[in-house]
Amino acid sequence: MKNKKEKDSNSKRKNVKKNSQNSSFDDEDSKYEKIKDITLKRARNPYTIFLMEQYKKEKDKNPEYKKNVIEYRKDCDVKWKKLSENAKEKYEALSEKEREKYKNDVEQIRILFFNQNKEGATAYRIFLNEKLKEAIDTDANPQDVKKEASKEWAQMSNEDKAEWKKKKKENDTWWDRCKKTRNVNAYSVFIQKKFEELKKDDDDATLTFKEVSKYWNKLSDKEKLKYKRFADDINEERRKAKDIYEITHGIQPARPAGAYRLFLSQVAKEGKLKGKKNPLVEGKRLWENLDNEEKDYYLKLSHRVHLCYIYKKMKFKEFQRKLTPIRPLTARSLFFKKLKGTDLPEGSKNFMEYANEKWKQLSEKEKKKYFEQAEEEKKKFEKKKNRNPDKIFNYPQKALSAFNFYIKEKVSEFKEENPDVPVNQVLKEMSQKWNELKQKQKEKYNKKAEKDKKRFLEQQEEFKKNGYYTQAKTPTNTASKKTQKSQSQKKRSQKKSASPKKSNKK
């Protein structure tokens, strides 16, 4: 049985949907209708389609049929070779159809979610932003405001449009706006609106956050919901900008969350898991009590997020392919390359045999020239291979203090001298030793700290100009992933062994 509070919250949500106050449900439905049949699966070749068809036939005849891959492929190879050209055309047509669908689906995802002007905010976008800000005072839906604004813009004269084009020049560039990736909420939109209202009346007027919070608390739920709608619209625009920035700069996309994870993050933002002993258990209970309509919303949202992730991953791989240099040729291959195009002498069967014989006939001095050339090519390849194109997007490591440098240097010695001191006491003991040091002894570490601080400030300036991400890039190397997994498993096992076992006795 649901308690009274939960029933009230559910009824509120349903009323919200009925009155179309929360546009996120309606927006997700309209987007889902366009993308529900899109999977972004690559097209199969004619032979693969034939294999799958043969397997389906066997499965229909005998539901318990289990295939031995090697034998099954051999049988299918024989059947495929026996097929006439007319029969193969059917599978080629199906493959072509899948290829065409895949191309159209990719283009549709690009237009829906990644189509944005990269040079800067257009005059129309600035005009639209002004209209959206004005509409906050009314109960208008952002989608309706956008439709009315597009009609008004179409009927506007060139003279009036020129004023908005002037504002376009004054506006930030698209790349600068991309860096503003933090999501806004209803309260932050309200604060911005309140400060703008004050500045219109008096430029020197001030307002504390406590006073703003009083104004916010006086608002009704309906008015707060109005600010939430416009916050959602801003977040959607910023998400688009962030996605396009990732694609154009070849940044590896993060794995998307599923429907349940998206629901949990939303519930956590609303503060429903705050103060709970087992937040995950509480989250699961809330998820199970959701009605089908709300669950569908999160399932549709996860489908959209998943498709965007596939598209970004595809673009990331394309970007990486452009950056990865061609592998260098060996000394022997360089010699073969030079020989290519020469006429073969009589009696030689093919080019490879002729080239191999010629290579064997070369003296050590002649071979040395090709080995040196191959070594130079290898060095160039290693330089290109080791460059990190998105190194600048990682936030610089913070500067260490003099005490940190002291610990780094002396901690191993201290542990050897004091093996009986527990780990949690090591830092306390070392801090006492640090305090006992004279100022001259500390100078060495102070110099290191100053040098590291300069390094951090320089990198921070570089990051402010060109940087984007504050989180570290996820490791692409499979070996590093394995080590991370093994370390996390060790930590879990240590925690389990350290925790006292509960007795079954009551």
Which pLDDT does position 244 carry in this prediction? 78
Question: For residue 190, which of 215, 156, 158 has the smallest C-alpha distance?
Answer: 215
pTM for the full model?
0.56
Residue 485 within a domain: no
| Domain match, 84 and 134 both | no
pLDDT at 467 (0 to 100): 55
Residue 272: burial class (beta carbons within 10 Å; 0-12, 13-18, 19+): middle
- Nearest alpha-carbon partner for 233 in 131, 113, 124, 132: 132
Cα within 13 Å of Cα(216), Cβ side: 20
By the 10 Å C-beta count (0-12 exposed, 13-18 middle, 19+ buried), 397 is classed as exposed
Q: Kindly state whether residue 185 falls inside one of the protein's structural domains.
A: yes
* pLDDT at residue number 18: 37
Are residue 266 and residue 136 in the same domain, yes or no?
Answer: yes
pLDDT (tens digit, 9 = 90+) per residue, 365-386?
A: 888 889 999 999 888 888 776 6
Token pair for 419? 């093996």
**Residue 471: what pLDDT?**
40
Q: Which amino acid is at 8?
A: D
- Whether residue 286 is found in the same domain as residue 354: no
Residue 17 lies in a domain: no
Mark whether 135 and 254 lie in a shared domain.
yes
DSSP 392: G
Cβ-contact 446, 453 below 8 angstroms:
no
DSSP classification of residue 470: -
For residue 379, the one-letter residue type is K
Kindly state the tokens that stand for 440: 């001259």
Residues 405 and 281 in one domain: no
Same domain, 204 and 262: yes
Do 219 and 179 lie in one domain? The reply is yes
DSSP 289-358: TS-HHHHHHHHHHHHHHHHHHHHHHHHHHHHHHHHSPPPPPPHHHHHHHHHTTPPPPTT--SHHHHHHHH
Q: Which residues of the chain have pLDDT under 50?
A: 1-23, 388-392, 469-485, 495-496, 498-506
481 lies in some domain:
no
Q: How far is CA 373 from CA 67, 101, 362, 366, 382, in A?
A: 52, 47, 16, 12, 15
Evaluate whether 40 touches 311 at the Cβ level (below 8 Å). yes
Q: Give the C-alpha separation, 393 to 470, whole Å.
A: 7
Domain boundary among 323, 341, 356: 323
At 472 the pLDDT is 38
Task: Indicate if 265 and 214 belong to the same structural domain.
Answer: yes
Q: Is 4 exposed, middle or buried (0-12, 13-18, 19+ CB in 10 A)?
A: exposed
CATH code assigned at 405: 1.10.30.10
Give me the pLDDT at residue 66, please. Answer: 74
Q: Is residue 186 part of a domain?
A: yes
- Shared-domain flag, residues 251 and 189: yes
Q: Coil, strand, or helix at residue 402?
A: helix
Decide if 373 contacts 336 (C-beta within 8 A): no
Q: Are residues 257 and 124 in the same domain?
A: yes
User: Is the residue at 88 inside a domain?
Assistant: yes
Range of the domain at 381: 331-387
- Distances 327 to 189, 386, 475 between C-alpha atoms, Å: 53, 13, 23
Q: Is residue 23 within 8 Å of 142, Cβ to Cβ? A: yes
Question: Residue 15: inside a domain, yes or no?
Answer: no
- List C-alpha distances in Å: 268 to 2, 264, 273, 491: 20, 6, 6, 27
In a domain, 7, yes or no: no
Those residues whose C-beta lies under 8 Å from the C-beta of residue 187, and which sit 6 or more positions away, are 216, 227
- What separation, in Å, do the N-terminal and C-terminal C-alpha atoms of the chain show? 30
Q: How many domains does the chain have?
A: 4
Same domain, 287 and 200: yes
Do 457 and 399 fall within a single domain? yes
81-110 pLDDT tens trace? 888 888 899 999 999 999 999 998 988 888
